[in-house]
């Protein structure tokens, strides 16, 4: 069974710290991996998309990496800000399957 696991489930860090969110998946034959952000009561916002042929993508303070051989992806957030507080979802696509992790709830302490 395909699974996407996100660790930790929740994280609180002081403002300004760099942090890493982890995502692991059970099958390395993915097509792409996407990180989303969800704010309370809001929809999903796409942050970064990594194609299977790529190893990382960067956007501003965010960097996402993909290691298919180990079944892992990380989302690195530099110099965290209170506005980064949200739930971060990792989504794996394989063939015609799309599998979501349950997310990491991030809280940045001012």
Residues that bind other proteins (CB under 8 A): 31-32, 34, 36, 41-46, 49, 51, 89, 91, 93, 95-96, 98, 100-103
Shortest CA distance to 48 belongs to which of 74, 12, 30? Answer: 74
CB closer to other proteins out of 25 and 36: 36
Minimum CB–partner distance for residue 44 and other proteins (Å): 4
Contact 91, 84 (CB under 8 A): no
CB closer to other proteins out of 18 and 45: 45
CB closer to other proteins out of 50 and 108: 50
Minimum CB–partner distance for residue 94 and other proteins (Å): 8
Minimum CB–partner distance for residue 17 and other proteins (Å): 27
Minimum CB–partner distance for residue 33 and other proteins (Å): 10
């Amino acid at each position: 069974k395909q699974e996407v696991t996100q660790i930790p489930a929740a994280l609180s860090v002081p403002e300004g710290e760099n942090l890493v969110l982890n995502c692991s998946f059970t099958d390395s034959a993915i097509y792409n991996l996407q990180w989303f952000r969800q704010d309370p009561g809001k929809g999903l916002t796409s942050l970064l998309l990594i194609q299977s042929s790529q190893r990382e993508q960067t956007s501003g303070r965010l960097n996402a990496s993909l290691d298919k051989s180990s079944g892992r992806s990380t989302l690195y957030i530099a110099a965290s800000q209170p506005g980064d507080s949200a739930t971060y979802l990792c989504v794996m696509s394989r063939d015609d399957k799309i599998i979501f992790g349950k997310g990491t709830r991030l809280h940045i302490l001012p």
